[in-house]
Structure 1
Amino acid sequence: MSNSIEIKIEKGIAWITLNRPEVFNSFNREMALSLQAKLDDCATNTEVRAIVITGSGKAFCAGQDLKEVTTPEINPGFRKILEEHYNPIIQKIRTIEKPVIAAVNGVAAGAGANIALACDIVVATEHASFIQAFSKIGLVPDSGGTFFLPRLIGFQRASALMMLGDRVNAAQALIMGMIYKEYPTATFEEEVQALAETLAAMPTKAIGLTKRLLNQSMNNSLEQQLALESDLQIEASSSYDYNEGVTAFVEKRKPEFKGE
């Protein structure tokens, strides 16, 4: 059995590791389908209250394994690669009503960069970099890149990065608003651990509803968004965690949320 995707669950956190370090964690069909399965498991596992996606070795993810698409006997074709591999991964990341952190430990290129940018919170080691590498080989950006990147950093910068294929280091990505935080390489793992533990201890239902609101805000009018906020606030206010949060505030103690 392949171990191209590794997963461990502890302290309410699912750690998903892209694990093909010999090819900089680039995706083939097996790895893409395995990641989808792991995300599905996390979505339904009540023990999981936060998800971290990272890479093994020196890279986060170099995107598509070009050996797969240049070998006729195994090449799935780009339509299948997009519709069965990457598009479902992006949709699962966005629809899981739990926080998903991209812990970018090295280069994130092509689809690898855009999978990271689809996550709720992106953090990177100081040696990480992001590359919209598609134009370098005559392709267009995919995996949601043309949707998320302009919204993160603006139309002009996104256009330039996608057309020129420039490498963006972590410090530049932070200034642009592409990522949330940059951490020193020496403390990267413990910083990600602390962030994930904080999220896993928070009211998961409310965070999931917040994520739903953010997703809908991409397309809603102000009136539609205000109405949805009202509906989901009513839903959040009926949760265990809301009652616990208010009670803890009144009692001047730290709340103990259950994610319910």
Structure 2
Amino acid sequence: MSVDYGRYTALKIARPAPRILEIVLSAPGRLNALDHEGHGELAEIWRDVDKDPDTAVVLLRGEGGTFSAGGDLAMVEEMADDWTTRMRVWKEASDIVYNVINCSKPVVSAIEGVGVGAGLAAALVSDITVAGRTARIIDGHTRLGVAAGDHSAIVWPLLCGMAKAKYYLLLCETVTGEEAERIGLVSLAVDDDRVVAEAMAVCEKLAAGAPAAIRLTKHALNNWLRQAGPAFDASLALEFLGFSGPEVREGLASLKEKRKPDFDPDSPF
């Protein structure tokens, strides 16, 4: 039975070619930042993909030449203020990572422009990642004033090694697509105007391949990520603990006011 994707409204769904499903992060005017609805949909859709008999491979990208600017600041502010919202988003953040990992169908992500936050989590735990050479990949957690959770602890050390992971995650430094390919954070870096086309070409190759062999290979390789699950679970818990503290409020204020944060140098930890 075919899957009906009509209930997804924050994500745009298309079929650019037979057996290929395209999921597009779409928030015009907000650089595809994910609000409550988009965050929830990005967590849930992989379950539908997994059971969809008409889909062999997924292309994940952002609309308008930008992948995603992270979480909508209004949602972040509500997470800091409201326990119920914080717990709901925590569960969704976990599901985004685990549902992509456990989806039997291969996922190819196309990272154009900026990639931050929950959208970046889905992109970097995808099976093949194609980035523009000048794309900007940023794990923005410590800049916001919370621990680097989401996908960071589960996949960055495996992809680019602990030394590079600590450098970029602790300092919140930007990684260009070209540098990301050099250190192994993404699969391919291509000219900026070729990102989606190259990712689509990869999808077409996967769609034409032996489906069971490809899916079982993904399942076997992702056991490395499953083994890192306890580190991921701990990082996510520590990240969301930070949403109840003072540092996230200063980080959020500084982002809204477009200034450098002024964090209190004294810490109970």
Which has the higher relative contact order, 1 or 2, with Cα contacts under 8 A spaced 6 or more apart?
2
Gaps of 5+ in 2: 1-6, 228-269
5 Å matches for 1:180-259? Answer: 180-218=187-225
Instruction: Look up the match of 2:247.
Output: none
1:81 to 83, 89, 110: 89
Q: CA deviation at 1:45?
A: 1.2
185-194 or 86-95, larger mean C-alpha shift: 185-194
2:121 to 101, 114, 123: 114
Instruction: Look up the match of 1:3.
Output: 9
Q: CA deviation at 1:14?
A: 0.5
Instruction: Look up the match of 2:130.
Output: 123
Is contact 1:110–1:141 with CA below 8 Å preserved after alignment?
no
Mapped partners of 2:81, 2:161: distance in 1: 38
User: Any idea what the Cα deviations from partners look like across 1:78-133, whole Å, max 9, x if unmatched?
Assistant: 332121x2211111110111110111112111333222111111111223111111
Measured at CA, do residues 24 and 219 of structure 1 come closer, stay the same or move farther in structure 2, by a change above 3 Å?
closer
Q: Which has the larger radius of gyration?
A: 1
Identity %: 26
Is contact 2:10–2:38 with CA below 8 Å preserved after alignment?
yes
Instruction: Look up the match of 1:56.
Output: 63
Q: Which amino acid aligns with 1:116?
A: A
Mapped partners of 2:116, 2:79: distance in 1: 24
Instruction: Look up the match of 1:20.
Output: 27
Q: CA deviation at 1:28?
A: 1.8
Q: CA deviation at 1:204?
A: 1.4
Q: Which amino acid aligns with 1:82?
A: W
Measured at CA, do residues 119 and 140 of structure 1 come closer, stay the same or move farther in structure 2, by a change above 3 Å?
same
Measured at CA, do residues 219 and 117 of structure 1 come closer, stay the same or move farther in structure 2, by a change above 3 Å?
closer
TM-score between the two structures when normalised by the length of structure 1: 0.78
Instruction: Look up the match of 1:162.
Output: 169
Q: Which amino acid aligns with 1:139?
A: V
1:151 to 148, 153, 158: 158
Instruction: Look up the match of 2:110.
Output: 103
Mapped partners of 2:147, 2:191: distance in 1: 32
Mapped partners of 2:68, 2:168: distance in 1: 18
Mapped partners of 2:56, 2:8: distance in 1: 26
Q: Which amino acid aligns with 1:124?
A: A
Instruction: Look up the match of 1:138.
Output: 145
Q: Which amino acid aligns with 1:79?
A: M
Measured at CA, do residues 95 and 69 of structure 1 come closer, stay the same or move farther in structure 2, by a change above 3 Å?
same
User: Any idea what the Cα deviations from partners look like across 1:50-101, whole Å, max 9, x if unmatched?
Assistant: 0011001242112221212324899553332121x22111111101111101
Measured at CA, do residues 113 and 218 of structure 1 come closer, stay the same or move farther in structure 2, by a change above 3 Å?
closer
Structure 1's consecutive aligned runs of 4 or more residues displaced over 3 angstroms after TM superposition are 71-77, 217-220
Structure 2 residue matching 1:70: 3-state secondary structure: helix
Is contact 2:58–2:107 with CA below 8 Å preserved after alignment?
yes
Aligned length: 219
Mapped partners of 1:130, 1:48: distance in 2: 28
Mapped partners of 1:203, 1:4: distance in 2: 32
Measured at CA, do residues 72 and 130 of structure 1 come closer, stay the same or move farther in structure 2, by a change above 3 Å?
closer
User: Any idea what the Cα deviations from partners look like across 1:7-42, whole Å, max 9, x if unmatched?
Assistant: 112321100000013212122221122223432221
Structure 2 residue matching 1:175: 3-state secondary structure: helix
Q: CA deviation at 1:219?
A: 6.2
116-125 or 182-191, larger mean C-alpha shift: 182-191
112-121 or 72-81, larger mean C-alpha shift: 72-81
Instruction: Look up the match of 1:231.
Output: none
